[in-house]
Amino acid sequence: MMRQYELVERVQRYKPDVDEALLNKAYVYSMQKHGHQTRASGDPYFSHPLEVAAILTDMHLDEATIAVALLHDTIEDTSATRQEIDEMFGPETGKLVEGLTKIDKLDLVSKKAAQAENLRKLLLAISDDIRVLLVKLADRLHNMRTLEHVPPDKRERIAEETMDIYAPLAGRMGMQGMREELEELAFRTLNPEAHRTVTERLRELQEKNSGIVAEIETALSDLFEKKGITAKVESRQKKPWSVFRKMEAKALSFEQLSDIFGFRIVVPTAEDCYRALGVIHTNWNTVPGRFKDYISTPKQNDYRSIHTTIVGPSRQRVELQIRSEDMHRVADYGVAAHSLYKDNGSGYTARNPDAIRETNAYAWLRRTIESLAEGDNPEDFLDNTKLELFHDQVFCFTPKGRLIALPRGATPIDFAYAVHTDVGDTCVGAKVNGRIMPLITELKNGDEVEIVRSKTQVPPSAWESVVVTGKARSAIRRATKAALRKQFSGLGMRILERSFDRAEKPFDKDKLKAVLHRLARKDVDDVLTAVGRGELPSQDVLRAVYPEHQEERAATPKATRDEGWFNLRNAAGMIFRIPGRGSSRKDRHKKQEAALPIRGASDDLPVRFAPEGAVPGDRIVGIVQPGSGITIYPIQSPALTAYDDQPDRWIDVRWDTDPDRKERFGARINVTAINEPGSLAEITEVIAANDANIHSLSMVRTAPDFTEMQIDLEVWDLKHLNRLLGQLRNIGSVNSARRVNG
């Protein structure tokens, strides 16, 4: 633990005329008041305000701010009172300590109105004196550094609060160094597995590229020295949270990131920044579209630098930041970089008088306080303030007031998965600000989103191309795979039961489990799914379980060219007649329902397609309809679940297409489009342009802003249908286009 004289020495290094008496008095008072109190880690509680003070000395803050850091928990956690602190340290210090006490309970998971009131207190205190914010952020930083000692239930809440409130607030005040560390510590707590993975990948990449990084640093330094420019060149690596956020927001893999390494060039003055830029651009080719001048046009948080990307040494793409020493200090410490000092009781000054009050960061704070003066109700104030605070995010609310931060471009589907994976998986619709809206609606700051759910819903695979968050994308992928796996597993079970029954052998999952190694499958469900998909023949499974079984093969059927028919035994052991290649056109069109030969189905029975249709390229099954023939279904049709308990009605059928004869087949699609003039015309034009035919069109559901329509099409095959769906989704007015039961 830092000793009293060590704290004074730290301040003296940057402020020789430090008021030692003030620091000594605050040190002793705080230590006495906290007495024998301990933290969750078991350390003396006084170590916490001492570490907060140490963090602020790294920012070169004045002794008054350091004293407030030492005292910041005394009113809340000890017997100290505001009156006592006023008497010992002055009313100004007492006011600051009380301000920190009021905002200490800022709680992200509290009710919306309470959040608004807490945020109101925080911003009022900050606007009155910037030191409140600096002490509060330092307090939060030390708490995050020691978060592992906090109980797990509180740990996650504190990390969420840090990520959603304090880190963005530090960033808005230009304190990028503190923002990065707060985000990093919160990321490690909220998603330890992702943090561990990204950190390891970054470590491996750093080891692999250390030689290239050193080569680039040397080349840049030598060039500046040759041109007479004083410059410090240092490499930098993206932080794990920054890497993970970019991967998630842009759906990129780690290997696809091109800006993990960058280089920072620090020169004495702003004029030197442009000299250095000229030297760089005259020696190496630039990457078009990768130049930004934040010196002439600073960011809202007062960040100033020149950003450029070149094709540098060894033909490597190199990202560069060029800034002056003052700019570098502001980039790390923001408003704290202006070195506030107390000036004989007349207020706060900086190296440049009034610099603090004129920063963009403070301009934002002034606008926020003006909204308070205009009498916004608490909830409106919360909305307006956080929308300003999270300008790089979309900040939405659940109906109960829970705040959900999403990347720009997020949809209600992203919102649903951000609330909970189960909410996303069962999402069937959304109300945005009380109105039913398409699920691809781009959310805006302040939207209130209510998710409509159904327990029978399975997320369509098409959602994967709509969402923007990695969490939603991964969950959709898992859910669709699980749904398909379940479907194929059930079909595989029925196929094996009948196959074993024909062989007069009992089917038992336990026996199947004993021969998994022979089938190269990890579990029984894998075997069933592989059989259902057609990847593993049922006879192979039968022979694996009963090696002594000898399959009785039927004689190969012969086609009778004169009649144009031949018999075929299907998977269920039933014999059917199908039209042979030598059959006449009249025979092939004998029944309209069986316009296309389907291997495994008999022309003695009418063959019909299910209402949703089936097209060549689909995996299909036939269901015997007593007294009316056979109905052909695509394997993914939910209608097949009605026949799960009637295995004898299932027939294994396959397409037997004639390449010389072109014919369209029915398929049903659902299209959701925005209600605007010409949207239906655009849809029908795309269908016609793709050589498809509309058999019927009906409006399934209409709302003030969108319409869901059902279209029965006639297409050539599955590839034709998928190409058409892809082009329909590219229409600006189309929200979604999907195959019914596809």
Query: What is the Cα gyration radius of the chain?
Result: 35
DSSP 80: -
DSSP 648: G
Residue where the block lists tokens 């024998």: 36
- How far is residue 692 CA from its own chain's centroid? 37
What letter represents residue 526's amino acid? D
Outline where 374-438 has alpha helix (H): 378-389, 412-419, 421-425
Helix pair 63-71, 130-145: axis angle to 10 deg: 50
Which phi and psi (to 5°) does residue 632 adopt?
A: -95, 130
- Counting Cβ atoms within 10 Å, is residue 225 exposed (0-12), middle (13-18) or buried (19+)? exposed
CA distance 709 to 290: 44
8 Å CB contact between 138 and 56:
yes
Residue where the block lists tokens 């906090």: 150
What are the tokens at 193?
A: 């597995």
CA distance 729 to 671: 9
- Long-range contacts for 140-144 (Cβ within 8 Å, ≥24 apart)? 140/166, 140/182, 141/55, 141/178, 141/181, 141/182, 141/185, 142/48, 142/51, 142/52, 142/55, 143/48, 144/181, 144/182, 144/185, 144/186
Residue where the block lists tokens 């019909």: 608
Q: What angle do CA 14, 19, 24 make, to 5 degrees?
A: 110
DSSP 269-319: SHHHHHHHHHHHHHHSEEPTT--EETTTS--TT----EEEEEE-GGG-EEE
In the residue annotation, 319 being an active-site residue is answered as no
8 Å CB contact between 107 and 161:
yes
In the residue annotation, 77 being an active-site residue is answered as yes
8 Å CB contact between 313 and 215:
yes
Among 43, 77, 326, 388, the active-site one is 77
DSSP 115: H
Closest CA to 500 of 551, 534, 536, 553: 551
- Furthest CA-CA distance within the chain: 116
8 Å CB contact between 261 and 237:
yes
8 Å CB contact between 310 and 286:
yes
Residues 6 or more apart whose Cβ sits within 8 Å of residue 560: 566, 580
Residue where the block lists tokens 């928990």: 73
Closest CA to 447 of 405, 481, 489: 405
What letter represents residue 537's amino acid? P
Among 19, 43, 58, 76, the active-site one is 76
Residues belonging to the active site: 76-77
